[in-house]
Amino acid sequence: MLHAPVIAWFDVHARDLPWRRPEAGPWGVMVSEFMLQQTPVSRVLPVYEEWLARWPRPADLAKEAPGEAVRAWGRLGYPRRALRLHGAAVAITERHGGDVPTEHAQLLALPGIGEYTAAAVASFAYGQRHAVLDTNVRRVLARAVTGVQYPPNATTAAERRLARELLPQDDPTAARWAAASMELGALVCTAKNEGCQRCPIAAQCAWRLAGKPEHSGPPRRGQTYAGTDRQVRGKLLAVLREAHAPVPQAALDRVWHEPVQRARALDGLVADGLVEPLPGGLYRLPLS
């Protein structure tokens, strides 16, 4: 079985991260899961610490305007996550008395929370038995069990079924396995330059035993940024985050030279609820 050696490795090599400490609590776990989506730990750490210092409970965040969540999100990227986390905090406050719910179904019913986040919070915060499938876990299972270099671009039903079949039967071990397999993918079974010599399950890994065949599926999606609408959106939001009064159109026009792309990015921010247009050509972060 894969569980014992991976969990034993984790017991020795797990990083000391603030959301893994008991004092983080379920809210700290939830905040970390929102922030860590598509964002490396090194960038998340300072924002996470500031966020929890300012809003130690969901009700603290729920009292604030959603624009304050966007402001505090800083340069983590994908700022709609900040709005979703604010929406979840409001729902937790209104529906659950300010406590992050313990049931997977209740977590899944919160706005902005999908299957992965619900399973992760239930597992990491409450020690429950759920298949937690992030990119790192999917890569570990693809290599160790399926024998391929990379998982599909999007999570498949077959991956979910495999993850459920591999879950340890008791809750505490299943929760530990979820964290351990994720850490193994983050530190050892990485997308590039994997450290098979340090891997506790190298001797059982189907991909390694097959001679590490090259990826033969669809091209893997790259993370392009420079020159994209995402970059322009980030520049526009940076101006609004730093301003504590409505910003005139002219101040936004200065951040990007190409007017069509700039207008498209601004329209997208408005449509996503990240920016609020005001009369007189002014813009601000959302108040409601």
Active site residues: 33
Q: How far apart are CA 134 and CA 157, in angstroms?
A: 14
Sequence-distant (≥ 6) Cβ neighbours of residue 42 within 8 angstroms: none
Query: 206, 190, 194: which is closest to 142 by C-alpha?
Result: 206
User: Given CA atoms 50, 133, 94, 64 in this order, what sign does their dihedral have?
Assistant: positive
DSSP-assigned letter for residue 198: G
Q: How far apart are CA 18 and CA 13, in angstroms?
A: 15
Burial of 187 (0-12, 13-18, 19+ CB in 10 A): middle
Q: How far apart are CA 65 and CA 70, in angstroms?
A: 9
* Sequential DSSP letters for 50-102: HHHHH-SSHHHHHTS-HHHHHHHHTTSS-THHHHHHHHHHHHHHHHSTTS--S
Structure tokens belonging to residue 155: 């999570």
What is the CB-side half-sphere exposure of residue 34 using CA atoms within 13 A? Answer: 27
Give how far the C-alpha of residue 35 lies from the chain's centroid of Cα atoms, to the nearest Å: 5
Sequence-distant (≥ 6) Cβ neighbours of residue 86 within 8 angstroms: 61, 62, 64, 66, 69
